Amino acid sequence: MAGLIPVYAVRSGYSEAHAALCVTAMAIGSIVFQYPLGALADRMNRRTLLALCAATGVIGSLLTPFVVQIPTLMYLLLFVWGGLILGVYSIGLTMLGQRYKGAELANANAGFVILYSLGLLLGPAGEGVALDTWNPHGLLVVLGAICAVYVGFLLFRRGRTNPA
């Protein structure tokens, strides 16, 4: 998201400087939301919180085309979206720590990092192809679809297993 949102912004009419502010808004949001997300993770079902954070990817993707021409709203959306979507990583790690201990935790963390890194490798490639195919909104379609699949997985798995 952080790598291609500036490209989306430039293709939507932003200058390079304003496109860089999009990344800044996401980065600040990711810092500001860490404590509130951590506090929520201590007070509510973590799987539910994880699904809510992932759902912001769908919501953010849907809202972006409507706010992209109003920079202040775009930066605000990216601040909230970037802050909450990062919760997918931090809450996921918290859930690993809750479920696994000792050597199992080390193995689970290694698997988590491998899969997360695989997503970081494959996601931008697919997003870039979509960005070029349906300029510029293809990026949002793929971002939203990835998040929707993950939310679906979380909800499907909830019904089949005892939530962590």
Q: What angle do CA 13, 14, 18 make, to 5 degrees?
A: 175
Domains of the chain: 5-160 (1.20.1250.20)
> What value does the mean pLDDT take over residues 96-113?
91
Contact 64, 14 (CB under 8 A): no
The model's confidence at residue 160, banded by pLDDT at 50, 70 and 90, is low
- Structure-model confidence comparison of residues 120 and 151, the more confident one: 151
pTM: 0.85
DSSP string, 79-122: HHHHHHHTHHHHHHHHHHHHH--HHHHHHHHHHHHHHHHHHHHH
> Over 70: is that where the pLDDT of 157 sits?
yes
pLDDT digits (tens, 9 = 90+) for 31-46: 999 999 999 999 999 9
> Over 90: is that where the pLDDT of 73 sits?
yes
> Over 70: is that where the pLDDT of 74 sits?
yes
Nearest to 139 by CA among 127, 123, 121: 127
CB burial class (10 A; 0-12, 13-18, 19+) of residue 60?
A: buried
Contact 53, 91 (CB under 8 A): yes
